[in-house]
Amino acid sequence: MLIIGAKGFAKEILEILYQNNDIENLVFYDDVNPETDIKLFNRFLIIKTEQEAIAHFKNKDKRFVLGVGNPKIRKLLYEKFILDGGDPTSLISHNASVGRFDVEIGNGTNIMDYAVVSNNVKIGVGCLIYYNTNITHDCILGDFVELSPGATILGRCIIGQQSQIGANATILPDIRIGNNVIVGAGAVVTNDLPDNCTAVGVPAKIIKQY
The catalytic residue positions are: 137
DSSP string, 100-114: SSSEEE-TT-EE-TT
d(CA 57, CA 25): 11
Q: What is the CA radius of gyration of the chain?
A: 17
Q: Is the torsion defined by CA of 102, 71, 186, 160 positive or negative?
A: negative
DSSP state of 162: T
Which of 43, 163, 142 lies closest to 3 in space, CA to CA?
A: 43
CB-hemisphere CA count at 13 Å for 205?
3
Which residue type sits at 191?
Answer: N
3-state secondary structure of 53: helix
Strand (E) or helix (H) holding 73: helix 71-83
- Determine contact, residues 67/13, Cβ cutoff 8 Å: yes
Residue 109: exposed, middle, or buried by beta-carbon count in 10 A (0-12, 13-18, 19+)? buried
